[in-house]
Structure formats: C-alpha cells, structure tokens
C-alpha cells in the first residue's frame, strides 16, 4: 500500500502500536478519537495490505546474557550470488539481521553475542565460509532504535 493512501490517523495508529503493540483497541480509539470498531477496521486493513506485518515483543538481551552487539562487514569473492551471501549467516543464532549491500562491502551482519570470546568464535565461523574474503567488525557501545 503506497504511503499516500494512508491518512494521518493511520500514521497515528501505527505510531501508537510501535510504542506498545499490546495497546487495547479502546485505548487507541480514545487517542485518535475514533470508535473502537473503526480502529479495528483500520488495523485489519493495515494488516491485510501488508503495512503491518506482525506484532513483536522487545527483549532485554543483556538480561538474557547476550548483551554485546556488533556489526560485521562481509566481503565475498566476485561471483558470489546474493542468495549465497544471505545464507552465509542466516542460520547462525548470533545473526539478528543480514543486509546485502550494493558496493563495498557486500553485506552487513548485525550480531548479538554473550562476550568477546563468543564474538571471536562467531567471526571465525563466518570467516571459514569458503566465499568470504574479508570481514571488518564494529562493536556497538550503545544503541537506539525507532522500531519498525
């Protein structure tokens, strides 16, 4: 659904759901001055058209023992297909997201690990892939995210 088909109320509803996906329909309705039924119809339409793709929970990974975030640039041999680049790390539990990039580097992998030894092991595992020609890793000190 092109963004121009969403009105200000749709954007407001999306913003409220980004803040807290567990908000009740009545809470959202009160904030956007619509009926609960009208809010439900709008949310259903946003889901049906693929604007809303799901509802998630935010986790404090540090409390689970996975508090270190890093980003690793990957370079591959020249004839590597994009699908192969994606499959290099997508099966790794440490990989949170993989972005293929036009240009240099070929991909950026967002990693989450327990400690520096775990990061080293993870990078070593990535480097063992026969088509990876180089890596560069950056460790995140702090993060902020707007959300999806």
- Give the structural domain span for 45: 8-49
Rounded to an integer, the average pLDDT of 114-133 is 96
If one compares 92 and 5, the residue with the highest pLDDT of the two is: 92
Q: What is the token pair recorded at 138?
A: 């950056």
Q: What is the token pair recorded at 59?
A: 């986790």
In CATH, what number is assigned to the domain containing residue 20? 1.10.10.10
Q: What is the token pair recorded at 3?
A: 């963004």
Residue 48 has pLDDT above 70, yes or no: yes
- What is the distance of C-alpha 96 from the center of its chain? 7
Q: Is residue 54 part of a domain?
A: no
> Do 98 and 39 share a structural domain?
no
Rounded to an integer, the average pLDDT of 6-31 is 96
Task: Determine the Cα–Cα distance for residues 118 and 101; give it in Å rounded to an integer.
Answer: 26
In CATH, what number is assigned to the domain containing residue 82? 3.30.70.920
Rounded to an integer, the average pLDDT of 10-37 is 96
Residue 141 has pLDDT above 60, yes or no: yes
> Do 84 and 124 share a structural domain?
yes
Q: Is residue 2 part of a domain?
A: no
Q: What is the pLDDT of residues 65-113, one digit of tens each?
A: 999 999 999 999 999 999 999 989 999 999 999 999 998 999 999 999 9
Q: What is the DSSP string of 57-89?
A: ----GGGGT--EEEEEEEEE-TT--HHHHHHHH
- At residue 3, the pLDDT reads 57
> Do 104 and 72 share a structural domain?
yes
Provide the domain count of the chain.
2
H/E stretch holding 132 reads strand 132-139
Q: What share of the chain is helix, strand, coil (3-state, %, to 5)?
A: 40, 20, 40
């Amino acid at each position: 659904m092109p963004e121009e088909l969403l009105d200000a109320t749709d954007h407001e509803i999306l913003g409220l759901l980004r803040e807290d996906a567990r908000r009740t329909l009545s809470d959202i309705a009160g904030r956007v001055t619509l009926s609960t039924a009208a809010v439900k119809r709008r949310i259903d339409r946003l889901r049906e058209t693929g604007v809303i793709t799901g509802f998630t929970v935010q986790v404090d990974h540090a409390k689970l023992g996975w508090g270190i975030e890093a980003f690793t640039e990957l370079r591959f041999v020249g004839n590597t297909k994009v699908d192969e680049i994606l499959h290099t790390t997508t099966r790794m539990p440490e990989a949170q997201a993989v972005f293929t990039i036009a240009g240099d580097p070929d991909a950026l992998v967002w990693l989450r690990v327990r400690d520096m030894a775990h990061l080293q092991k993870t990078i070593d595992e990535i480097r063992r892939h026969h088509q990876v020609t180089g890596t560069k890793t950056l460790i995140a000190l702090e993060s902020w995210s707007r959300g999806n």
